[in-house]
């Protein structure tokens, strides 16, 4: 059974859930040790093309997949034949297989690859090396690896770290600094940044600038600012929102900031598969308020065609403050690696 992301993970003050954090701390040390050992013992393989890894240092909720999608778009706009590559989390196919949104479902390939495949060729493969080689055989000059920072299988041309820039109130992207499961981090900050070539800070649309204290953590690494930008307004009239992502409260906040008449919001676990019972519950909530149902694009692709007909999707895309600088950074690294 999937569980909702603990909100206290992202609270900087370690006095929140102190007992739980303390009990789980030794498991975090083990997790970090296993990750470090795997990376140290693996010799990365060159698949025969540039590899741009888009990852993060936390277990989710940073905006990694939208950045991967935008990276694919920008590379292809510059004439680079870029393909996406994902493990296909949540899908049943092992791959390598090229994602076809007209044929595959989230149950086949996962929700994130379906989103990426709307705009570019995308492959899913449990074996990242085999997936990259399949993309190269299909003509890929570059592979954008979604969620690849802790996977050492492929030799990376560029390693990007995506960080949630929300620091208002008591929120902090790395919580109190603990590693999963006592906190949200996949590995210690210093270790993760040592393998990074640049950082993408994902800011909320209603925040003007990144927190200087957050930026200081990244030292001399290049930092690019991006925002999740709605492709259109939320649906009109009262709405009941729902989301099964790592930080569902961010969707609620964003809908309100975009002017949605949000009368209720229901969080689900990340990558939740919506059952008939879930949908009946949501539809009953909407009926109470005389409202429609709205969710994220990532959630919408996990719905059945019948369920989609009763739910509005609210797509958002990542956009960089300095798009040209980010594109030049990527192409410059690719060219220098040839």
**Structure confidence by residue, pLDDT tens digits, 256-312:** 999 999 999 999 988 888 999 999 999 999 999 999 999 999 999 999 989 999 999
Q: Which residues, at least 6 apart from 198, have a Cβ–Cβ distance to it below 8 Å?
A: 158, 159, 160, 161, 221, 222, 223, 224, 329
pLDDT band at 6 (very low <50, low <70, confident <90, very high): confident
Backbone torsion region of residue 17, taken as left when φ is above 0, otherwise alpha when ψ lies between -120 and 50, otherwise beta: left
On whether the pTM is more than 0.75, the answer is: yes
Q: Which of 179-183's residues contact partners 24+ apart within 8 Å by CB, and which partners?
A: 179/28, 179/29, 179/31, 179/32, 180/28, 180/31, 180/59, 181/24, 181/27, 181/28, 181/31, 182/20, 182/21, 182/22, 182/23, 182/24, 182/25, 182/27, 182/28, 183/9, 183/21, 183/28
C-alpha dihedral sign at 317, 161, 99, 305: negative
Residue 3 is predicted with a pLDDT of 59
106's tokens: 């989230």
Closest CA to 303 of 293, 289, 290, 317: 293
Residue 62 is predicted with a pLDDT of 86
Is the pLDDT score of 1 beyond 60? no
Residue 2 is predicted with a pLDDT of 60
């Amino acid at each position: 059974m999937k569980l909702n992301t603990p909100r206290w993970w992202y609270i900087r003050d370690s006095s929140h859930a102190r007992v739980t954090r303390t009990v789980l701390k030794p498991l975090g040390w083990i997790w970090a040790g296993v990750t470090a050992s795997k990376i140290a013992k693996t010799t990365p393989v060159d698949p025969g093309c540039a590899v741009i890894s888009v990852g993060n240092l936390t277990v989710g909720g940073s905006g990694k997949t939208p950045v991967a999608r935008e990276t694919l778009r920008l590379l292809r706009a510059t004439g680079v034949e870029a393909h996406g590559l994902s493990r296909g989390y949540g899908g049943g196919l092992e791959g390598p297989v090229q994602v076809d949104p007209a044929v595959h479902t989230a149950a086949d390939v996962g929700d994130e690859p379906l989103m990426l495949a709307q705009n570019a060729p995308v492959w899913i493969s449990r074996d990242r090396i085999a997936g990259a080689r399949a993309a190269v055989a299909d003509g890929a000059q570059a592979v954008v690896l979604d969620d690849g920072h802790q996977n050492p299988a492929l030799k990376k041309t560029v390693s990007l770290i995506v960080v949630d820039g929300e620091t208002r109130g008591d929120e902090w992207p790395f919580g109190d600094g603990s590693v999963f499961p006592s906190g949200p981090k996949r590995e210690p900050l210093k270790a993760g940044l040592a393998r990074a070539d640049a950082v993408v800070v994902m800011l909320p649309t209603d925040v003007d600038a990144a927190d200087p204290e957050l930026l200081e953590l990244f030292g001399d690494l290049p930092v690019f600012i991006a925002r999740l930008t709605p492709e259109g307004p939320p649906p009109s009239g009262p709405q009941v929102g729902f989301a099964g992502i790592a930080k569902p409260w961010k969707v609620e906040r964003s809908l309100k900031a975009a002017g949605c008449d949000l009368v209720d919001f229901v969080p689900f676990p990340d990558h939740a598969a919506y059952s008939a019972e879930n949908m009946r519950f949501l539809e009953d909530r909407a009926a109470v308020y005389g409202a429609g149902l709205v969710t994220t694009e990532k959630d919408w692709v996990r719905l059945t065609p019948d369920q989609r007909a009763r739910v509005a999707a609210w797509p958002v895309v990542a956009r960089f403050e300095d798009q040209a600088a980010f594109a030049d950074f990527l192409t410059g690294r690719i060219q220098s690696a040839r």
